[in-house]
Amino acid sequence: MRFLGVMLVSSAVVLGACGGGSKDAAPAASTPAAAPAAEAPAAAGAALPITGKTWEVKMIGDGNAYKFEPADLTIKAGDGIKFTVVSIPPHNVAFDVAQPGLADAAVKAQIDANMGPNKMGELSSPLLLNIGDAYTISFAGVKPGKYLFNCTPHLAMNMKGSVTVQ
Helix (H, G, I), strand (E, B) or coil at 59: strand
What are the residues whose beta carbons fall under 8 Å from the beta carbon of 41, sequence distance 6 or more?
109
What is the full DSSP assignment across 114-159? HT-TT-SBTTBPPPB-STT-EEEEE-TTPPSEEEEEE-GGGGGGT-
| 67 makes contact with Cu ion (CB under 5 A) | no
Whole-number Å distance between alpha carbons of 66 and 88 = 9
- Print the binding letters for residues 1-40 with Cu ion: x by CB under 5 A, - otherwise: ----------------------------------------
| 154 makes contact with Cu ion (CB under 5 A) | yes
| 151 makes contact with Cu ion (CB under 5 A) | yes
Site size with Cu ion, rule: CB under 5 A: 5
Is 58 or 143 the residue whose CB approaches Cu ion more closely?
58
Options 80, 83, 91, 136; binder of Cu ion; rule CB under 5 A: 91
* Least distance in angstroms from the C-beta of 149 to Cu ion: 11
What are the residues whose beta carbons fall under 8 Å from the beta carbon of 165, sequence distance 6 or more?
75, 76, 77, 79, 139, 142, 143, 144, 145, 146, 147
Is 47 or 133 the residue whose CB approaches Cu ion more closely?
133
* CB-nearest residue to Cu ion: 151
Options 159, 162, 163, 165; binder of Cu ion; rule CB under 5 A: 159
Contacts with Cu ion, residue ranges (CB under 5 A): 66, 91, 151, 154, 159
